[in-house]
Structure 1
Amino acid sequence: MLSTLFNTAGEAVTSTVNFINMILWGDGQVLIYMLLIAGIWFSFKLKFIQILNFRHMFSLLKGSSKSDSSGISSFQALCTSLSARVGTGNLAGVAVAISLGGAGAIFWMWVIALLGMATGYAESVLGQVYKIKDEKGEYRGGPAYYIKQGLKNSWFAILFALCLFFGYGFVFSAVQANTITDALNNSYGIDTFHSGLVIISLAALIVVGGLRAIARFAEWVVPFMGIAYVIVALVITALNIHLLPDVLLNIVKSAFGLQEAGAGAFAAAVKNGIQRGLYSNEAGSGSVPHAAASATPHPNHPVSQGYIQMLGVFIDTMILCTCTAFIILLAGNDEIGQMAGIRLTQTAMESHLGVIGGDFVAAAICLFAFTSVVANYAYGESNLHMFKLDNKIGRTFYTTGYLAMILWGSMAALPKVWAMADMALGLMTVVNIIAIVLLTPTIVAVTKDYHDKRKAQLNQPDLEIGFKEKECKIQGSTEDKIWQ
């Protein structure tokens, strides 16, 4: 009787999860439309800041290594967000987009990245504006914080925090661990339990030091990881430079259905390019504001961190995803439509570099996925304050559950868990998009404040760009916020 009851409850939960995912990610495609509209909305409201101020975004890297006792540096915040962004989606996700949508999917991935840069900027600015200090005197923030303070809606904030805890705090790390152990088992026959123990041991050594330890790890590993991958892609492109014009022409033609398949190919390219681009860069999901809020920006203004995190979307999709696309398309494999996921990327890499190419992809998967595992912890920890668990006992319980989920995930079969993770991420994104759109006046006011002061600084070079809430029209209560 009890067994039957549990089975019935399990089936009901599975059906509910599948129904919600169908609306958010499947036939309903609610999230795709929401994120696309949000990208267009913020591009328009911010006067296409991601294009017209493109050079300024890079110029802010010059002073991005500065920090203080309360916050990590802007560069560390960028690397932390890239740790979570840059994962298996950059290798497997691009391959799936090409498999299902053809070469034209890459064009639409570029388009959604350009729009997503504005969304990523908007949520990161809010993360800075509404950040607080925890019991250790360190900055914390994110969507739950700007929803509670800016919109004065505690229940909406708690809903977001719960979805983030479930997704980033536990399930996503289990899935990433499963990716690592499966890759090592398939390539080298290493037992999944043993590799799982190694993963939790390494993760524990890093996360026990808190956000600063995670930021220092990301600051060293992410640039090495990204630069190595880009160099390999550039070498492959140089060796096949004579094929590059045809590849670029193929991307453009396929993007607009100018190939034989016509309208069907056009629809597939748009759908898969947009969907995989959104999955990869995370713009609008509400994850990146946690890293953004932890920083002491330079100049000391919320907008400077918005620019830095906007750069993260560019690096993730326009650079790293493009590298994977060129590696695959330059291989000229006629069986692209018959392969999916990481197998397509591995096959392409092996065709360029031989057996060592497959080993390189396996190593890249492990490194990309592990950095995501570590960064996921930081996002969950940032929300402990929302539940008054920002103390030694709360962190101990959270860390124990996080490490246990990694070990379980390293050995488990995860289809149902993936579905629940997709639901958590989807609900997170819906809540966050609604919040940042409602907080648009604050984003616009803070942006105007920054650019007005930057213009004044050109006339008075000694003038420092600072930020005070009272100088802008900031929504919500200011009692817990940092900026004065």
Structure 2
Amino acid sequence: MINDIVSAVNNVLWGNGQVLIFMLIACGVWFTVKLGGVQIRHFGHMFTLLKGSNKSSSEGISAFQALCTSLSARVGTGNLAGVAVAISLGGSGAIFWMWMIALLGMATGFAESVLGQLYKVKDENGEFRGGPAYYIKQGLNKTWLAVAFSLFLFFGYGFVFSAVQANTITDALNNAYQFPSEYTGIVIIVMAALIVVGGLRGIARFAEYVVPFMAVGYVSVALVITVLNIDLLPAMLLDIVKSAFGLQEAGAGALGAAIKNGIQRGLYSNEAGSGSVPHAAASAVPYPNHPVSQGYVQMLGVFIDTMILCTATAFIILLAGGSSSDQMEGIRLTQEAMSSHLGTGGTDFVAAAISLFAFTSVVANYAYGESNLHMFKLDNRAGRAAYTIGYLAMIYWGAQAALPQVWAMADMALGLMTVINIIAIVWMTPTIVSISKDYFTKHDKGEKPEYKTGDCEIQGKSEEGIW
């Protein structure tokens, strides 16, 4: 009966109903229009803000650490396996639509991160915490909706998603090197425990060093492969565009598959609109000291995840001749493509990359769940200990489990989180527009934007003493 309910909900959200795809596209268009195309108009400003992004305090992590933490969670199996699925089911044109949804998703990511930062609170230790549950409660005064979001997030990010990522690691290492799953699971638990015992700061420090290394290393390999196949690049890019608009022989059916799979996999990968990233945004000490500065930084995260990392995977696969005619899906297609470029070392590289990508997600997922402990007054030693034990136990179970049903429940949790978050941020459009205009005006005057309570009208009120 539970499986039937989960299946029915997922069918409405992700399947034939495709409610979430329409909601996320509409949300991206809505905020692109309302914010005057901020992701295009202020594209360069995202990078400018990185210059002062390394400042932290006793209250919060630095903006750069928040960016790396959000990328830790975003960058996972979707960047390697998800892109391969999009290409195998939707052809090369799916990549074009993945780019388009990322462009719209940047505006959504901007909006939700601004709210996460504006309505942040201080926990028992005097450290910043926040996320959709907090801006729903303080901005909309809908405590029941805030609690519902937190419960879905605990189930998804706190427990199930980490089990799924652990399963991906053990499967990759077992296939490549025949490592026993139970032993790999123990190693993952020990490594994760050593990092998360330091709380959000420990996770942020880990992300700050590992994520740039991971991203630069992966993109560098993709660039080398692209340069070595530079003669194939113009034809590949032309094929992406022609396939995206159904200009190939296959016709309208291929066009629908390209759009559906490109958008769906892009949304899965960059997480814009799901309500996960505002937790990282809220934990930061913004620079300059204005909520909108974190909107720019996290908007950059969507760009890096999809436009850079997913594109790197797409180029690796397409330059190896991968297309919708291949019977392989997921990580095997990526491994085969990499092997065709690098020889037998390609499989090793992909196994190492997906293990690292997935492990960073395992660690960052913990931080998102921990941020919601304050909502239930559990941000104390006993509450954190109980949460940590449950989180580690799920990793060990996930490392060995058969996961189709768990994947379905994870999809449902993510889907319901996203529905609640999109309704909330659209509802709070007046606040997002008001505070964004405050930043834009100050920035256009050549001032360093600073925000103080009362500078502009917002819905509800932020916690006293935060601004």
What's 1:3 paired with?
Answer: none
Residues in 1 aligned to 2:168 and 2:342: alpha-carbon distance in whole angstroms: 23
Deviation (angstroms), 1:477: 3.1
Residues in 2 aligned to 1:333 and 1:30: alpha-carbon distance in whole angstroms: 30
What's 2:222 paired with?
Answer: 233
What's 2:264 paired with?
Answer: 275
CA contact (8 A) 1:233 1:323 kept: yes
What's 2:369 paired with?
Answer: 380
Deviation (angstroms), 1:332: 1.4
What's 1:476 paired with?
Answer: 460
Structure 1 segment 302-381 matched on structure 2, within 5 A: 302-333=291-322, 336-381=325-370
Residues in 2 aligned to 1:263 and 1:188: alpha-carbon distance in whole angstroms: 43
What's 1:467 paired with?
Answer: 451
Deviation (angstroms), 1:469: 2.4
Q: Deviations over 1:451-484 (max 9, x none)?
A: 111123x2xxxx5421012011110133x25543
Deviation (angstroms), 1:333: 4.0
Structure 2 unaligned residues grouped into runs of 5+: none
Structure 1 unaligned residues grouped into runs of 5+: 1-11
CA contact (8 A) 1:125 1:303 kept: yes
Residues in 1 aligned to 2:96 and 2:54: alpha-carbon distance in whole angstroms: 33
Query: Secondary structure, in 3 states, of the residue corresponding to 1:470?
Result: coil
1:66 aligns with 2:58: no
CA contact (8 A) 2:89 2:324 kept: no
Structure 1 segment 166-315 matched on structure 2, within 5 A: 166-315=155-304
What's 2:74 paired with?
Answer: 85
Q: Deviations over 1:231-259 (max 9, x none)?
A: 00000000000000000000000000000
Q: Which amino acid aligns with 2:454?
A: K
What TM-score comes out, normalization by structure 1 length? 0.95
CA contact (8 A) 2:88 2:323 kept: no
Residues in 1 aligned to 2:43 and 2:404: alpha-carbon distance in whole angstroms: 40
Q: Which amino acid aligns with 2:120?
A: K
1:141 aligns with 2:139: no
CA contact (8 A) 1:132 1:482 kept: no
Residues in 1 aligned to 2:311 and 2:368: alpha-carbon distance in whole angstroms: 27
What's 1:4 paired with?
Answer: none
Residues in 2 aligned to 1:477 and 1:154: alpha-carbon distance in whole angstroms: 14
Q: Deviations over 1:282-335 (max 9, x none)?
A: 000000000000000110111111000000000000000000000000001477
Residues in 2 aligned to 1:104 and 1:187: alpha-carbon distance in whole angstroms: 30
What's 2:9 paired with?
Answer: 20
What's 1:434 paired with?
Answer: 423
Deviation (angstroms), 1:278: 0.3
Change (3 A) 1:418 1:106: same
Residues in 1 aligned to 2:200 and 2:94: alpha-carbon distance in whole angstroms: 36
What's 1:123 paired with?
Answer: 112
Residues in 1 aligned to 2:240 and 2:273: alpha-carbon distance in whole angstroms: 26
Query: Secondary structure, in 3 states, of the residue corresponding to 1:66?
Result: coil
**What is the RMSD computed on CA atoms of the aligned residues?**
0.9
Residues in 1 aligned to 2:57 and 2:394: alpha-carbon distance in whole angstroms: 33
Q: Which amino acid aligns with 2:40?
A: I
CA contact (8 A) 1:468 1:483 kept: no
Change (3 A) 1:240 1:400: same
Q: Deviations over 1:133-169 (max 9, x none)?
A: 0010100000000000000000000000000000000
CA contact (8 A) 2:27 2:426 kept: yes
Deviation (angstroms), 1:204: 0.3
Residues in 2 aligned to 1:142 and 1:335: alpha-carbon distance in whole angstroms: 39
Residues in 2 aligned to 1:362 and 1:39: alpha-carbon distance in whole angstroms: 34
Residues in 2 aligned to 1:49 and 1:224: alpha-carbon distance in whole angstroms: 29
Residues in 2 aligned to 1:104 and 1:190: alpha-carbon distance in whole angstroms: 37
Q: Which amino acid aligns with 1:350?
A: S
Query: Secondary structure, in 3 states, of the residue corresponding to 1:451?
Result: helix
Q: Which amino acid aligns with 1:439?
A: M
CA contact (8 A) 2:79 2:310 kept: yes
CA contact (8 A) 2:92 2:323 kept: no
Deviation (angstroms), 1:51: 0.3
Q: Which amino acid aligns with 1:476?
A: G
Change (3 A) 1:472 1:244: same
What's 2:406 paired with?
Answer: 417
Residues in 2 aligned to 1:71 and 1:52: alpha-carbon distance in whole angstroms: 29
Residues in 2 aligned to 1:333 and 1:372: alpha-carbon distance in whole angstroms: 27
Change (3 A) 1:165 1:335: closer
CA contact (8 A) 2:281 2:294 kept: yes
What TM-score comes out, normalization by structure 2 length? 0.99
Q: Deviations over 1:74-107 (max 9, x none)?
A: 0000000000000010000000000010000000
Q: Deviations over 1:365-392 (max 9, x none)?
A: 1000000000000000000001110100
Q: Percent identity?
A: 74
What's 1:407 paired with?
Answer: 396
CA contact (8 A) 1:207 1:374 kept: yes
What's 1:7 paired with?
Answer: none
Residues in 2 aligned to 1:482 and 1:306: alpha-carbon distance in whole angstroms: 21
Q: Deviations over 1:3-55 (max 9, x none)?
A: xxxxxxxxx11100000000000000000000000000000000000001101
Residues in 1 aligned to 2:41 and 2:461: alpha-carbon distance in whole angstroms: 33
